[in-house]
Amino acid sequence: MLKYSIMIDNKERLKEEVIKIIKDTIEEQFTDEGLELIDLEIKGNDRNNILRVFIDKQGGITLNDCEKFSKCLSVVLDVKNSMKIAYKLEVSSPGERKRKIF
């Protein structure tokens, strides 16, 4: 039970760090595009994690927006070494999740 509690605590801490990095990345590099962080999920286990980032902007998000942001965020996360776990990054529109969580 203690190991499970530590894993949850570590994921919550990691999520907070990643949220800050994403917000900083949007502010520093995507201000003109008007991107917003809508939601973030970190799912999986020690060997197979998925970092899902949901972004949106006025008028809706395009596939090109997601691709551009994904490439930039991937580099930022690697440079800052903030993801101390193996992960797969997915960037998407919020779909039905239009309510901003962050």
53 pLDDT band, cuts 50/70/90, is very high
For 14-34, what is the mean pLDDT? Answer: 88
In the structure, what pLDDT confidence band is assigned to residue 82 with cuts at 50, 70 and 90?
low
Residue type, 9: D
pLDDT for 18: 87
Q: Which domains does the chain have, with CATH numbers?
A: 2-92 (3.30.300.70)
Q: Which residue blocks in 1-102 are alpha helix, DSSP H?
A: 2-29, 63-80
* Rounded mean pLDDT, 74-100: 80
Does residue 6 surpass a pLDDT of 50?
no
